[in-house]
């Protein structure tokens, strides 16, 4: 069993050293400081409210997009990588559309048949999980 040693620093800058007990290689990693930053995606910061068609971008990873009025989402291909997540929230009293533009998309728990578009339910939340740059799965309040 290998162990990892976490070693802080005297200046309290948030930089720590992780080192395996079995090898001599040292990796320096900057961790959040006490000013309210979080480690990982413990919260989902907003991309912003979209009232027109919006194409997801790489900067949206780990965030949520809120749709209002005539908002809609386009999921492009070759922008995201395996493990990327984007959350979409339909904050309206009508369904909204997701267009899967040149990306192979599946509905989680579905038939395994790729879809070219999907519908987000009223007040629905959908998570888009990318398994590659050209493939994603839609899960949540989506059909």
Domains of the chain, first to last:
1-37 (no CATH), 46-140 (2.60.120)
- pLDDT for 1: 44
75 pLDDT exceeds 70? yes
Give the model's confidence band at 70: pLDDT under 50 very low, under 70 low, under 90 confident, else very high.
Answer: confident
Summarize pLDDT for 88-141 with one digit per residue, the tens.
999 999 999 999 987 899 999 988 899 999 999 999 999 999 999 999 999 999
- Distinct helix (H) and strand (E) counts, the chain: 0, 13
What average pLDDT does this structure show over 45-51? 83
pTM over 0.75: no
Q: What is the mean pLDDT of the chain?
A: 81
For the chain, the residue count is 143
- Work out the percent of the chain whose per-residue pLDDT is above 70: 71
Opening angle at CA 52, ends 51 and 53, nearest 5: 135
């Amino acid at each position: 069993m290998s162990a990892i040693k976490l070693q802080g620093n005297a200046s309290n800058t948030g930089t720590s050293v992780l080192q395996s007990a079995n090898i001599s290689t040292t990796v320096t990693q900057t961790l959040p400081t006490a000013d309210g930053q979080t480690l990982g995606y413990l919260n989902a910061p907003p991309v912003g409210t979209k009232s027109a068609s919006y194409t997801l971008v790489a900067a949206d990873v780990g965030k949520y997009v809120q749709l209002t009025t005539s908002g809609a989402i386009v999921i492009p291909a070759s922008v995201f990588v395996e493990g990327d997540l984007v959350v979409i929230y339909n904050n309206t009293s009508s369904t909204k559309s997701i267009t899967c533009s040149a990306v192979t998309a599946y509905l989680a728990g579905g038939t395994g048949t790729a879809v070219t578009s999907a519908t987000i339910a009223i007040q629905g939340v959908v998570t888009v999980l990318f398994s590659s740059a050209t493939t994603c799965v839609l899960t949540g309040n989506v059909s």
